[in-house]
Each structure stands twice: as structure tokens, then as C-alpha cells.
Amino acid sequence: MPLTQSILNILREILPAQRPISLHEPDFGDAEKALVTDCLESGWVSSVGQYVDRFEQSLITYTGIPHAIATVNGTAALHTCLILAGVTTGDEVLLPALTFIGSANPVVYSGAVPHFIDCEAETLGIDPQRLNDYLTDITEQRGNTCYNRSTGRPVRALMVVHVLGHPARMTELAEIAARFQLVLIEDAAESLGSWRDGRHTGSWGQLTALSFNGNKIITCGGGGAVLTRDPELAQRAKHLTTTAKQPHAWAVEHDAVGYNYRLPNLNAALGCAQMEQLPQLLAQKRQLAEDYANAFTTLDGVQFQNEPADCRSNHWLNLLLLPDREQRDQLLNVTHAEGFLLRPFWTPLHQQSVFNNAPRMKLPQTEDLFTRGVCLPSSANLRQPHTVT
Ligand SMILES: *Cc1c(COP(=O)(O)O)cnc(C)c1O
């Protein structure tokens, strides 16, 4: 039997009969309806309200990171992180080529240039050894600043992404950021509920961004958050995302050109209900990943992406690697014809027309994963909820 046919049969066995089955769908219950209704009835639907504070507190409690500032989306959260990291016009920011374009766009909003780094197969995140060798080769330290010797630009920050929810190698990457004097930012948009060495993703970076878009593990409809351990950065994040208005009983004065990036209370109400569901959703997604892993280990020619060692992943999107691009495309065609809406990886950022001229290292692992990888349907509701203790 051709490989793609065997994979199709496994999907038919594992997934429910109803079609189409999309890549990732949100899951709402009674709590969502109750809290959103309560928010509507309160009249406080916009940028001020108790649900925003409650949502932020639930993120703090869950992740163990002491400050959270809710924003309109993950892109706005990352933009805020970059500004607070001191990233400015003419800087470079290091980030993986294998990520959603929402990681790189805010680098450009802040006036900087994205500089693309290769990933490794086990974590899908930045390869620390190769990053270290590359920076040793192409940069020099002058004072407290790292410079790219060929472009002459300061390299200000390292943005690590936890791709598909799998934690990147944070101990090594944090060491590299310190060695080269780079601000460490974590794009944890896909990794709420993912842990490494018992620490939640986002715990290493000076600044971290989350996303609550409709396709993420939990959603506010749209939403994001900045997380940080630093109380001063937290205070500045709150100020910058609320139009930099100075606190006053009645005067309306702003001490900077700020941003209207505050999460509306209505979206936060949905987020509060989703946070209550998170343990349940994670358990369902873990079960689905296990079922995929068991089915695909007996099939020659494919490789299912397991969670990295010493990690607990949220299994946001399940990844299957095929032998080559031809079979990947064949699988995408046959599964779509049956209503299984599988997707390839995002086209790597260095191959997107807007970033054609961006600096980069050699990216063989990124290109290999892109040409062979397929994301499988991964919604939590593809598995029955069971009691979580
Ligand atoms: C979703 C996502 C973003 C952007 O978040 P939005 O809420 O959609 O703006 C950024 N980075 C990564 C890795 C993402 O997956």
C-alpha cells in the first residue's frame, strides 16, 4: 500500500467520522457563555473591567511568572516586548526562520531587521550549538553591545519561539543570550501549558509574549499577553499598551506615543472561562498525541514528533514527517479530498517575499522540516474529556 494511503487509513481510525476536520478549533462550554453574558450585562466590555485583571491573575498563577499584561493579540504583545527590550531603528533581532510570520512582523514595526537562525530536529526550536558557533563567527562585542561585523548593525535581542508548543532548549539559549549580551525574548504564543525542567515556557526570557488567537490552545477570540519577572518592565508594558496615559482623576494627558493595545474586557471574560478549561484541554490533547504516536510508530517511512526530553508539551499541533516533499504534497491532496484539513508548516520566513533580503545563517534543518512536515488535526475536542485531578 502506498505510504499516503496507510496514513489516510490511520487518520480514519483515530479521528471522528464527521468531516471536515480542521487543523485546530476552539472548544467552548457553559462557563464561556456564562462569563461572556455576565460581562455584557455588566456594561464593561471595553478596555477597563474586572475580567482583564482576573485573566492576568490567572496567567500569573498558572505560569508562575509574576507579572502579566493582557493585550489585543500576540503580535501586539511581541511588539511591546521588543520596544521594552530597547530594540530600535537599525538593530537586528535573531529569531528562527521556522515560525509564523507574526514572530517577525513586530521586529519590523520596531524599526529593526530580522536575522534568521536555523532550528534543530528534536525541539523544532533554535539550535543552540549552531547559534553559538554562528555568533562567534559573525559578531563582535563593543562595550555592552553585540555587533554584526558584516552589516555593522547592533544585534539587540534573541527571540526564541516554542514551535508547535514544544519547548526550545532554554538553558543553553539563555546562556548564549547572556554571553553575547542579547536581550532574551520568548515567543510563547503556541506554548501555554508547555514546560521544560518543571518551568513554564516564558520563564527564561526577560520578556515573553503569549497569544490567544482563535487557533491557539485557548482563545479570547483575539488576545495576547506580555509576561515578565521584572516589576519595572511590567509597569512600563502596562503604560505603553494603554496609550501612555498618566494616572489622574480627570485630566487626560499622555507622556509618550503609546499604543491602544489593551485587551477588551469582553475578550478577557472568554479568556477567564478558557483558563478554567485549560487542564482539561491539555489532557485531551495529550491523549490525542499519544494515540497518533502509537499509530505512527509502527508505520515505516514516517516519523511522529514527540515531546522533547525533560519537557511536557501542550501538543498544540501534532507534526508528522514524511520522506520527501512529493509525498508530503500527495498526502495533503488525498487528505484534503477526504475532509482532513492537514497543513504544511508555514513557508519559512527567509522564503517569504518580504524577507528575501533579510540576513540569515544557513538553514538546512528549517528547509528539511518544511519540505517534509505535515501538521495533523489537533483540536482537543477530537478526544473525549475525562476527569482531571
Ligand atoms: C499566533 C502567533 C503569533 C501572533 O499571535 P496573534 O495573536 O495571532 O497576533 C506570534 N508568534 C507565533 C509563533 C504564533 O503562533
Domain CATH for 239: 3.40.640.10
Q: How far apart are CA 373 and CA 325, in angstroms?
A: 8
Residue with cell 490567572: 58
- Residue 356 belongs to a domain with what CATH number? 3.90.1150.10
Q: Ligand 1 pocket check: which of 71, 186, 187 to mutate, most ligand atoms within 8 Å of Cβ?
A: 187
148-184 residues labelled b (16+ CB within 10 A) or e (exposed): beeeebbbbbbbbbbbbbbbbbbeebbebbeebebbb
Q: Which atom of ligand 1 is nearest to the CA of 161?
A: 13
Per residue in 67-105, pLDDT tens?
A: 999 999 999 999 999 999 999 999 999 999 999 999 999
Ligand 1 centroid to residue 211 C-alpha, Å: 6
Whether 355 lines ligand 1, by a CB cut-off of 6 Å, is no
* Within a domain: 389: no
**What is the pLDDT at residue 389?**
47
Percentage of the chain surpassing pLDDT 70? Answer: 99
Asked if the model's pLDDT at residue 146 lies above 60, the reply is: yes
Percentage of the chain surpassing pLDDT 90? Answer: 97
- What's the whole-number mean pLDDT along residues 291-315? 97
- What's the whole-number mean pLDDT along residues 140-154? 97
* Within a domain: 156: yes
* Within a domain: 387: no
65 and 134 belong to one structural domain: yes
Whether 186 lines ligand 1, by a CB cut-off of 6 Å, is no
pTM of the predicted protein model? 0.97
Whether 71 lines ligand 1, by a CB cut-off of 6 Å, is no
Q: How far apart are CA 57 and CA 39, in angstroms?
A: 17
* Within a domain: 232: yes
**What is the pLDDT at residue 387?**
53
Per residue in 317-340, pLDDT tens?
A: 999 999 999 999 999 999 999 999
Amino acid, single-letter form, for residue 264: P
340 and 241 belong to one structural domain: no
Q: What is the tally of structural domains in the chain?
A: 2
**Of 274, 305, 330, which residue is a domain's last?**
274
Q: How far apart are CA 222 and CA 262, in angstroms?
A: 11
Ligand 1 centroid to residue 365 C-alpha, Å: 22
65 and 116 belong to one structural domain: yes
| Residue 198, C-alpha cell as written in the block | 518543571
306 and 192 belong to one structural domain: no
**What is the pLDDT at residue 47?**
83
* Within a domain: 388: no
226 and 94 belong to one structural domain: yes
282 and 269 belong to one structural domain: no
Whether 96 lines ligand 1, by a CB cut-off of 6 Å, is no
| Residue 11, C-alpha cell as written in the block | 487518520
**Of 210, 243, 274, which residue is a domain's last?**
274
| Helix, strand, coil share of the chain (percent; to 5) | 40, 20, 40
375 and 258 belong to one structural domain: no
Which range marks the domain in which residue 116 is found? 30-274
Q: What is the separation, in whole angstroms, between the first and last Cα of the chain?
A: 43
158 and 306 belong to one structural domain: no
300 and 157 belong to one structural domain: no
* Within a domain: 172: yes
Asked if the model's pLDDT at residue 171 lies above 60, the reply is: yes
Q: Which atom of ligand 1 is nearest to the CA of 222?
A: 7
**Of 208, 240, 274, which residue is a domain's last?**
274
* Within a domain: 175: yes
Whether 345 lines ligand 1, by a CB cut-off of 6 Å, is no
Per residue in 328-373, pLDDT tens?
A: 999 999 999 999 999 999 999 999 999 999 999 999 999 999 999 9
Residue with cell 473591567: 49
Q: Which atom of ligand 1 is nearest to the CA of 224?
A: 7
Nearest to 261 by CA among 309, 186, 209: 209
Q: How far apart are CA 319 and CA 326, in angstroms?
A: 17
With cut-offs at 50, 70 and 90, classify the pLDDT of residue 386.
low
- Pair type for strands 92-96 and 113-117: parallel
Nearest to 186 by CA among 121, 126, 246, 97: 126
165 and 289 belong to one structural domain: no
Per-residue HEC secondary structure of 175-201 comes to: HHHHHCCCEEEEECCCCCCCEECCEEC
215 and 281 belong to one structural domain: no
Amino acid, single-letter form, for residue 189: A
CB 160 within 8 Å of CB 172: no
CB 174 within 8 Å of CB 206: no
203 and 90 belong to one structural domain: yes
* Within a domain: 96: yes
| Residue 303, C-alpha cell as written in the block | 516519523
Nearest to 346 by CA among 116, 57, 109: 116
For residue 140, CA distances in Å to 16, 18, 146, 175, 216 come to 55, 57, 6, 17, 38
Asked if the model's pLDDT at residue 385 lies above 90, the reply is: no
